Structure 1
Amino acid sequence: MVRPLVAVIGRRAAQVPILRFSATLAAEAICEAVWAAGGEPVVLHGPAADPLAEMPGRIARFDGVLLPGGADVDPGRYGATPVPETCGVVEFQDELDLGVTRAVIDLDLPALVICRGMQILNVALGGTLVQHVVETDTAHHNGVHPVHVKRGSRLHAIVGAQTIDASSYHHQAIDRLAPGLAVCGLAADGVIEAVEHRHADLVAVQWHPEDRHATSETDAALFADLVDRARKRKESR
């Protein structure tokens, strides 16, 4: 069986010193997870000269898209002034990810977006972000913590449970939810951990399922679901 093509959006080097995040290691783990789920991962980079001009046509060639984690989103994108903790902003990466996100929604491509990807999704649709999440005693966003999954949501259908463990390392999060999105996962302190698009074929999680895809059934299920949706798209063409 021919594997469906899944575009994994490339990352420019950026440092996020307050987190234990490596874009290179994350990309490797994501490609391994997509392959293990039966997909053909293809890392897609945008040309620095103009990352958006040909993006809809380039994305349309794929059966599915995965938008990974990365550095902070420029607060100016949602009308805010940077706080001291905001770091690692890459203008080119913001342009690329926003362009990819809008193309994915316009084309209704199967997509899974992770961490920064979920934040970009919210900003692309008109939402805002919390620039620095303050840790509490009930939820730790730099480690493994429980996430409550909304019953009846697409995420619930994918993972088959109302409470799951998630491997997170993020200090930004959704603040004002964008129109068109629905919350389907929450941390104990109320931080939004997963959303889904009300119409497009898209699921987004704030955590990093690539960390534990080989050992966690719920994390592996997210990649299996993406590849399954991509395969159906491929077969319907």
Structure 2
Amino acid sequence: MALVGRRAPQVPILRFSATLAAEALCEAVWAAGGEPVVLHGPAADPLAELPSRLAAFDGVLMPGGADIEPSRYGADPLPETMDTVAFQDDLDLGVTRAVLDLDLPTLAICRGMQVLNVALGGTLHQHITETDPVHHNAIHDVNVISGTRLHAMVGTEVIDVSSYHHQAIDRLAPGLTVSAVAADGLVEAVEHDRADIVAVQWHPEDRHATSSSDAALFADLVDRARKRKDSP
């Protein structure tokens, strides 16, 4: 399972820069029966070989992270958009386009869902106004739409999720279908109409060990990857 790494400019215990993956994500994949492998993005021309590199994997996990540069979706930056990383945007958009072309089983989380929407031509709210529910560092309910792939995974129409974001989908990209929304109408999950991609705005890795609906997302990803591996 390819887990797209996050470049950190300095990690004291490693002395220099590092490509990192959140331990909770690795543990969630492992608990579901998968083997997480951190996908490194070389600083020199990281995009050219992505399709051939990703073809060696059975599935992909797109994690959360920093804000996406607004220029990627045709917008001017607002003061609330912070900590953008051009290299990470290049890598994540490149990975997303590659998994779409390869039809690789993919789970996209938080920023990963936003990258998916941008890669397909959608836009983002650069900063959402907190009302009810609170989306930044909170647990709240989301409404799962019946008949979607997400509904088949979690088996219910209301789940509670661990939320940590201040940006969200604005204009939905062509090819995506909304599969969950919050009480305030914010898009909480999408799935691709053709490709094998499911995306959620919340962080299922936070509570994968205690929440059956969160664990189901990783179990589904590993199951989809295993079926791809075993297919003739």
Q: TM-score interval w.r.t. the shorter chain?
A: over 0.9
Shift of 1:45: 1.2
Match of 2:85 in 1: 90
* 1:180-195 matches, cutoff 5 A: 180-195=175-190
Q: Which amino acid aligns with 1:141?
A: H
> Aligned with 2:153: secondary structure?
helix
Q: Which amino acid aligns with 1:190?
A: G
Instruction: Please say if 1:141 is aligned against 2:135.
Output: yes
> Aligned with 2:194: secondary structure?
coil
What is the alpha-carbon distance in structure 2 between the residues aligned to residue 44 and residue 215 of structure 1? 27
What is the alpha-carbon distance in structure 1 between the residues aligned to residue 108 and residue 45 of structure 2? 23
Give the % identical residues.
75
> Aligned with 1:182: secondary structure?
strand
* 1:1-237 matches, cutoff 5 A: 6-13=1-8, 27-136=22-131, 138-142=132-136, 143-237=138-232
Segments of structure 1 that go 5 or more residues without pairing to the other structure are 1-5, 15-23
Give TM-score, length-normalised by structure 1. Answer: 0.92
Q: Is the 8 A contact 2:62 2:112 kept in 1?
A: yes
Structure 2 CA distance for partners of 1:231 and 1:120, relative to 1, 3 Å: same
What is the alpha-carbon distance in structure 1 between the residues aligned to residue 141 and residue 37 of structure 2? 31
Match of 2:16 in 1: none
RMSD: 1.2
Give TM-score, length-normalised by structure 2. Answer: 0.94
What is the alpha-carbon distance in structure 1 between the residues aligned to residue 207 and residue 20 of structure 2? 13
> For residues 158-177 of structure 1, what are the alpha-carbon distances to aligned partners after superposition, in whole Å with 9 as ceiling and x for unaligned?
01110000101100000000
Q: Is the 8 A contact 1:59 1:103 kept in 2?
A: yes
Q: Is the 8 A contact 2:139 2:162 kept in 1?
A: yes
> For residues 13-66 of structure 1, what are the alpha-carbon distances to aligned partners after superposition, in whole Å with 9 as ceiling and x for unaligned?
38xxxxxxxxx9962100100000000100001101111010000000000000
What is the alpha-carbon distance in structure 2 between the residues aligned to residue 61 and residue 70 of structure 1? 25
Segments of structure 2 that go 5 or more residues without pairing to the other structure are 10-18
Shift of 1:94: 0.2
What is the alpha-carbon distance in structure 2 between the residues aligned to residue 197 and residue 27 of structure 1? 25
Count matched residues: 222
Q: Which amino acid aligns with 1:210?
A: E
* Runs of 4+, deviation exceeding 3 Å: none
